[in-house]
Structure 1
Amino acid sequence: MAQAAIHIEMPLGVVVRKSPGVTRWAKWTWKAVAVLPGAGPADWAEVRREGAVVDYHAATLPLVLWAAEAEAYVANLADSLPSIYLVLREERDGDPPLEAVLVTASPFEGQDYADTGEDIVEKIPMTPGLIAWVRDFTQEHFQPEHFVKRRRDKSRVDLTEDGKGDPRIRQTSDVYRAPRRVLQ
């Protein structure tokens, strides 16, 4: 019997939209709007322009699915809108000012990048074909953990008061009192 691959990979293009900002502090707003499964290489190629709004094929990054992450993919597929998570990093003096770093189908990995606060994590809806590809891989590798109820042991640990209070205190009335210095 053939063994299933522990990971599979697909090139995934990401489309990022540049729109005029709505405040005087932000000249432009950037938002990831689409994915292109199986796309060729790109480096901020203009795809569409409507007035001041421009869509760019920002980058093509590898989407890697790992067998060990199957539980995360199940959580993603169970969402009302399964998504790809795009990690963008700001470039100080770059044009364009964002660098596409990573794409992932794991919401847990996307959350890890969002927790740092240094990266921008965009959630992009998956295409139906991409949902099927992720679902097939997940069904092949996901092993649900069976719930095992923990049984309580019968030993009574509350019968002795080991470690309660300070042994230097001789009074039993206040075992949590701080010890006093003995004056001689």
Structure 2
Amino acid sequence: MHDKQLLLPLGVVVRRAPGVTRWAPWSWKAVAVLPGAGPADWREMRREGDAVEYHAATLTLDLHHTQTEAYLEALRARVPSVYVVMRPVMAEAEAMPFEVTLVTASPFEAQDYCDTGEEMVERVPMPEGMIALIRDFVAAHHVAEEFKKRKRDWVRVTGSEDGVGDARIPQETDVYRAPARARKERMH
């Protein structure tokens, strides 16, 4: 029996490079993930001139058996990717301007964060071993749902509500009387 949930520590590598405009002195981008990484807090990994790569954080990638459709979508992409969500830090005393808040293999969850516009969402290519791990997880838990087309409700839409009166007009009998019964009452 396979576990219905898989938790994997995933280190996030963020690259700081010189900005291309005078209004943004630095450009920040999540560029890689490190499966099985230990804890980190913006530890410098590599420096190339003015560009610096940091092991910004290690978060838990949570794969759940009910989300396999989303993971399949990620695997079908031209470049299978995980998504890193970073939130701007408002305190000016902070050395790093972002807090890494989430890493996910679900493009649907990543889209939800894109919709708010408050967080920065970066698409990072999955390492080969992670692709195999997620593919195996999906193979063990995915249940294809059969497409069910909605059936049209064939309601009569002639525009008349036979037997229903206007509440603003005083009537001798019930407003919601049956039309055939009303005709019989008039004849007698």
Query: Normalised by the size of structure 2, how large is the TM-score?
Result: 0.81
Aligned-residue CA RMSD (Å): 2.1
1:136 maps onto 2:142 in alignment: no
SS in 2 for 1:43: coil
Aligned pair count reads 166
Identity of aligned pairs, percent?
55
Amino acid at match of 2:110: G
Shift of 1:114: 1.1
Amino acid at match of 2:40: A
Unpaired segments of 5 or more residues in structure 2?
Answer: 170-188
Q: Find the counterpart in structure 1 of residue 59 from structure 2.
A: 61
Amino acid at match of 1:98: F
Shift of 1:95: 1.0
Q: Find the counterpart in structure 1 of residue 160 from structure 2.
A: 161
SS in 2 for 1:46: strand
Q: Find the counterpart in structure 1 of residue 19 from structure 2.
A: 21
Q: Find the counterpart in structure 1 of residue 113 from structure 2.
A: 113
Unpaired segments of 5 or more residues in structure 1?
Answer: 170-184
Amino acid at match of 2:71: Y
1:79 maps onto 2:77 in alignment: yes
Gap change, CA 1:149 and 1:35, over 3 Å in 2:
same
Shift of 1:132: 0.6
Aligned pairs for 1:116-127 (under 5 A) are 116-127=116-127
Query: Normalised by the size of structure 1, how large is the TM-score?
Result: 0.83
Q: Find the counterpart in structure 2 of residue 91 from structure 1.
A: 89
Q: Find the counterpart in structure 2 of residue 178 from structure 1.
A: none
Gap change, CA 1:57 and 1:148, over 3 Å in 2:
same
SS in 1 for 2:22: coil
Shift of 1:140: 1.1
Shift of 1:161: 1.9
Partners of 1:152 and 1:31 lie apart in 2 by: 49
Larger Rg: 2
Partners of 1:129 and 1:49 lie apart in 2 by: 26
Q: Find the counterpart in structure 1 of residue 146 from structure 2.
A: 146
Partners of 2:21 and 2:150 lie apart in 1 by: 56
Q: Find the counterpart in structure 1 of residue 183 from structure 2.
A: none
Spell out structure 1 runs of 4+ moving beyond 6 A: none
Which structure shows the bigger proportion of residues in helix conformation?
2
Partners of 2:150 and 2:25 lie apart in 1 by: 57
Q: Provide, for residues 88-112 of structure 1, a one-character-per-residue CA deviation record: whole Å limited to 9, x for no partner.
A: 0111222111110010000010011
SS in 1 for 2:42: strand
Shift of 1:148: 3.1
Gap change, CA 1:156 and 1:30, over 3 Å in 2:
closer
